[in-house]
Structure 1
Amino acid sequence: MSFTFASHLHMISLIGSIGAALAVMFVRLRATSKPVNAMKIIMPPVGMSTGFLMFVAPMVRIPFLWGIVAFLVGAVLFAYPLIRTSTFHVQDGLVYLKRSKAFLGILLILLIIRLTLHEYVETYVSIYQTGALFFILAYGMLLPWRVAMYMQYRKLLSRSDVGKEAV
């Protein structure tokens, strides 16, 4: 019975990961057609931070060092290509995210790496701890990316009179 439950949990996790990646790609494509403001940049990491409540459950807890390593892998390896492909431009006095041809390819490559790592890590720790590690990795990717985007956004605003009301 536990094998069946674990198999279903693994499949749900895999489908959820692929679904989330597709959602990010879709949202990213739509984001280039709408003006950006500071709240749209800042809110994803704030909203995602509620996920740290998962660590209230004992079965999800991991050693602190594992969490640090997962965060650093996300921040160093996964965030960097996203930071490099996220730029802004001004159009009609508003700030927009510039569409990058490389962004979707990078997201797909990161998804493949993440799924491969997930399979490997899951052979050594429980599925709950694997989920916790990859949540921290994703947060480690999202936070520096959004901080870099916010800094770039503020820099663009300081160089011009555009979007002063959106700060």
Structure 2
Amino acid sequence: MSETTVLFLLTTVGAAMMGTLAVIVRMKAIKKPASVKKIIIPPLMMSTGFLMFLYEPTHLPPERIVAPLIVGAAASYLLIRTSRFEIHNGDIYMKRSKLFIFLLFGLIAARVIIKLIIGEQIQLPQLAGMFFLLAYGMIIPWRIAMLLMFKKAEQQIERPAWSSPLKERT
């Protein structure tokens, strides 16, 4: 096996393991109340990944920048549709969704398949940059939508008791 093939396989397995770890972390995070900070910090921390583009082998032509951003934004639609908040005891939680779990694993599988298809045609550093852009293009719209949904749920909690219709007591 050539050095390139071994590196390709290691990065593919590594990406699949990181994706699985991300799903596990998301499932644990759902058990704790959400907050604005928990919604905003991941994309901010992830933005440090743009530093990889200071390394010349990761430089991309414009079409290899735009395409992953568009695909990421399209994939974010599915994440947005499967993300909901619910209120329990005055706290806001992300609602568990089986579809959300399957979607995350589906995205991991799609990433591996895409890498297997185009990985031989694009240099590994550029491919890494493209997958980073795809992930960033997905997380930004998703987190913006989550923030808006969270703020809406927060308004429901903060609404004074007299502003909601009276409910029959049982």
Q: When the two structures are superposed, what TM-score results if normalisation uses the length of structure 1?
A: 0.90
- Looking at structure 2, the residues matched to 39 and 8 of structure 1 have their Cα atoms a distance apart, in angstroms, of 39
The answer on whether the counterparts of 2:90 and 2:157 sit within 8 Å (CA) in structure 1 is no
Residue from 66, 69, 73 that aligns with 2:67? 69
Residue from 26, 49, 52 that aligns with 2:50? 52
Counterpart in the other structure of 1:19:
17
Kindly report which structure 2 residues correspond to 1:116-131, keeping only aligned pairs within 5 A, or say none: 116-131=113-128
Counterpart in the other structure of 1:149:
146
- C-alpha distance after superposition, 1:110-164 (max 9, x if no partner): 11111111112212210111111111001111111111101100111123318xx
The count of residues paired between Structure 1 and Structure 2 equals: 159
- Looking at structure 1, the residues matched to 101 and 119 of structure 2 have their Cα atoms a distance apart, in angstroms, of 27
Kindly report which structure 2 residues correspond to 1:132-147, keeping only aligned pairs within 5 A, or say none: 132-147=129-144
Secondary structure of 1:33's aligned partner: coil
Counterpart in the other structure of 1:99:
96
Structure 1 unmatched runs, 5+: 163-167
Secondary structure of 1:160's aligned partner: helix
Q: What letter is aligned with 2:77?
A: Y
Residue from 11, 29, 36 that aligns with 1:31? 29
Residue from 40, 44, 62 that aligns with 1:42? 40
Q: When the two structures are superposed, what TM-score results if normalisation uses the length of structure 2?
A: 0.88
State the Cα distance separating 1:9 from its structure 2 match.
1.8
- Looking at structure 2, the residues matched to 22 and 123 of structure 1 have their Cα atoms a distance apart, in angstroms, of 24
State the Cα distance separating 1:104 from its structure 2 match.
1.2
- Looking at structure 2, the residues matched to 138 and 51 of structure 1 have their Cα atoms a distance apart, in angstroms, of 11
Q: What letter is aligned with 1:158?
A: Q
Structure 2 unmatched runs, 5+: 160-170
The answer on whether the counterparts of 2:80 and 2:142 sit within 8 Å (CA) in structure 1 is yes
Could you list the runs of 4 or more consecutive aligned residues of structure 1 that deviate by over 4 angstroms after TM superposition? none
| Identity, % of aligned positions | 35
Give RMSD over aligned pairs: 1.4
- Looking at structure 1, the residues matched to 155 and 64 of structure 2 have their Cα atoms a distance apart, in angstroms, of 39
| Larger displacement relative to structure 2 (103-112 or 82-91) | 103-112
- Looking at structure 2, the residues matched to 81 and 155 of structure 1 have their Cα atoms a distance apart, in angstroms, of 20
- Looking at structure 1, the residues matched to 121 and 108 of structure 2 have their Cα atoms a distance apart, in angstroms, of 20
State the Cα distance separating 1:8 from its structure 2 match.
2.8
